[in-house]
């Protein structure tokens, strides 16, 4: 779907639709200019005819994006704190931690859906993150010979 609110202003769209309503411009030319198909065009015409003065193509989100509810956050922190005890236990040697377990646990226990990057982000922010160990350097052997198969 073309995002008209980013390419055109309300007044530009209103002018084109008004000219279509007065039969000054054909539909196909307006669709070409706006880059839309029939269905979207007729939806815009219907909205314009219902309220020509209040017509707007500006888009506003109804809900906040990239946020989780406080109850999900609370359960996430609670489960991460339980797992932190296991991670920090010296008797359990861990090289890495699978945060997908927390995701599955939240879905099963609390019926709450959280993305894996969100869980990892919260773990890092609240100091529940198990850092990856640095890779060990590979020991290189240097062999100096004059020809292949020479024994030193």
Q: What gap in Å lies between CA 14 and CA 108, rounded to an integer? A: 50
Return the pLDDT at 75.
93
Return the pLDDT at 127.
87
Q: Six-digit token pair at 26?
A: 């054909």
Q: Which domain holds residue 80?
A: 70-125
Are the C-beta atoms of residues 48 and 39 closer than 8 Å to each other?
no
Report how many domains make up the chain.
2
Residue 18 lies in a domain: yes
**What are the pLDDT digits (tens) for 94-150?**
777 889 999 999 999 999 999 999 999 999 998 888 777 777 777 677 667 777 777
What predicted TM-score, i.e. pTM, was given to this entire model?
0.51
**What are the pLDDT digits (tens) for 34-90?**
999 999 999 999 999 999 999 999 877 777 777 888 899 999 999 999 888 887 787
Residue 65 lies in a domain: no
Q: Six-digit token pair at 68?
A: 């989780």
Residue 45 lies in a domain: yes
Give the residue carrying structure tokens 């314009």: 48
């Amino acid at each position: 779907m073309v995002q008209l609110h980013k390419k055109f202003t309300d007044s530009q769209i209103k002018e084109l639709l008004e000219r279509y309503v007065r039969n000054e411009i054909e539909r196909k030319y307006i669709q070409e200019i706006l880059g839309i198909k029939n269905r979207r065009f007729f939806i815009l015409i219907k909205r314009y005819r219902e309220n020509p003065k209040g017509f707007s193509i500006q888009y506003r989100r109804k809900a906040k994006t990239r946020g989780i509810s406080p109850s999900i956050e609370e359960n996430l922190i609670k489960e991460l704190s339980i797992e932190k005890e296991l991670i920090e236990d010296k008797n359990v040697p861990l090289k890495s931690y699978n945060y997908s377990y927390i995701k599955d646990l939240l879905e099963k226990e609390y019926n709450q859906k959280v993305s894996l990057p969100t869980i990892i982000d919260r773990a890092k922010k609240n100091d529940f993150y198990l850092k990856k160990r640095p890779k060990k350097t590979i020991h290189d052997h240097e062999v100096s010979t004059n020809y292949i198969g020479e024994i030193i």
